[in-house]
Amino acid sequence: MSQFDLVVIGSGPGGYVAAIRASQLGMKTAIVERAELGGICLNWGCIPTKALLRTAEVYRNMQHAKDFGLAADNVRFDATAVVDRSRKVAGRLSGGIAFLMKKHKVTVIAGTARLEKGAVAPKVIVTDKDAKDTSYEAKHVILATGARARAIPQAGLVPDGKRIWGYREAMTPREWPLSLLVFGAGAIGIEFASFYAALGVKATVVEMLDRILPVEDEEISAFAKKRFEKEGMVIRTAMKAKSLKATASGVEAVVESGGKSETLTASHAIVAVGIQANTEDIGLEALGVKLDKGHVVIDEFARTNVKGLYAIGDVAGAPWLAHKASHEGVICVEAIAGKHPHAMIKERIPGCTYAHPQVASVGLTEANAKAAGREVRVGRFPFVGNGKAIALGEDQGLVKTVFDAKTGELLGAHMVGAEVTELIQGYVIAMQAEATEETLASTIFPHPTLSEMMHESVLDAYGRVLHV
């Protein structure tokens, strides 16, 4: 029986980062993966979708070449080449993970893992492609098994791989859609709708809640909706899917809003109604692992209620973000090694949506801050007041900041517009450093940059805005 200090189950952004950090700290480490190294994020999620969205961005800019004094006639795209580029990007990064595992002397075990009761920590049994079982013992075991797309069978929201797509089919379509119904207006649904709409597909987004991107600040959500609609997306909110089925020529959905039903049709549909943790068939029930709504329950250092067993990333609950998983993995391993890391503060985890326009945020929304009993000061600055945004031809957007009126603490930052997924980290650092409005207001921002709007939004919260 092979023995390790740590065995990590799952090689996504949480798992492989945890394995690397463990190796750096001198632990004999193994990682188990049943599919591709890098997990869903690198192979079928974060990375390939951004490659697709970059294609959409370039295509959109080419169509507006005249606005920049340029000529780009007969602009068109090759759907096969678009998808092929996305897959090559994913493949390159997956290969990079294999290199990192070798570099850090992490043993990679191919197969499907399950857990059984062990002496110090649960024993890991790995079944390989030939159905052969091999047992591994470790002092510590980390579950990083991730999650998968949620389906709602009672409403027909189940991918069939042909007309009704999940994320895999949406990224590698066998045929190009003439029109799309996208169920779910969270980040995943909006990103797919934005990609296809940019390439000329009529994309209709159906959302059960009363607004899109429901985790975002209401003001930002409303602004984004108007911009998405201007980009060609059709958005239907407060609408519940009753049924979805494939037909001879496409898909047909019965939806309900305000007690009234109607039928929507399209050539294809995408199901993006949330995710479900991968906790089945691992042996968690027999070990008595505590679950909550399908997710593994952990403490601030990713420990489960079972000795020697930890969980990180999507399998351990919201927010379901790659960077949260990676950071959680580092915290978990450093705690195992006795390094006394800081516990994660979830309010300081940024979230990003890579549509056009982009949306990014960190911390409390204005509504949540008020609901928590905080007296707030709110600052806003529009992209139309920023010279760099105007020069880029991207003058539609908004930066919003929320401060505690008594202490000057930055409670939240919310942004919509060009490159905000890159800008948001400035506010994340400010929150982590516990900077106040005084620190941010006295910071020099370079000109001309989009980041100046971050400064102006802070100034606006305290009646000092300069350029509006």
CA 65 – CA 397 distance, rounded (Å): 21
Residue pair 245/157 in contact (Cβ under 8 Å)? The answer is no
Residue pair 151/159 in contact (Cβ under 8 Å)? The answer is yes
Amino acid at 102: K
Which pairing describes strands 133-143 and 123-127: parallel, antiparallel, or unpaired? antiparallel
User: What DSSP element (H or E) covers 429?
Assistant: helix 420-432
User: What DSSP element (H or E) covers 171?
Assistant: helix 167-171
CA 395 – CA 182 distance, rounded (Å): 28
Query: Of the residues 414, 447, 455, 467, which is catalytic?
Result: 447
CA 145 – CA 317 distance, rounded (Å): 12
Residue pair 144/8 in contact (Cβ under 8 Å)? The answer is yes
Two structure tokens written together for 138: 């470790």
Two structure tokens written together for 242: 């009753």
Whether cis (ω within 30° of 0) applies to the bond prior to 382 is no
CA 97 – CA 464 distance, rounded (Å): 48
Helices (H), 39-136: 39-44, 46-63, 79-103
Whether 323 is a known active-site residue: answer: no
CA dihedral sign, ordered 266, 270, 274, 278: positive
Query: Alpha-carbon Rg of the chain, whole angstroms?
Result: 24
Q: Name 145's Cβ contacts closer than 8 Å, sequence gap at least 6.
A: 9, 10, 277, 278, 279, 282, 315
Which CA distances in Å does 134 have to 7, 109, 124, 362, 408?
A: 13, 10, 8, 44, 57
What amino acid positions are annotated as catalytic residues?
Answer: 447
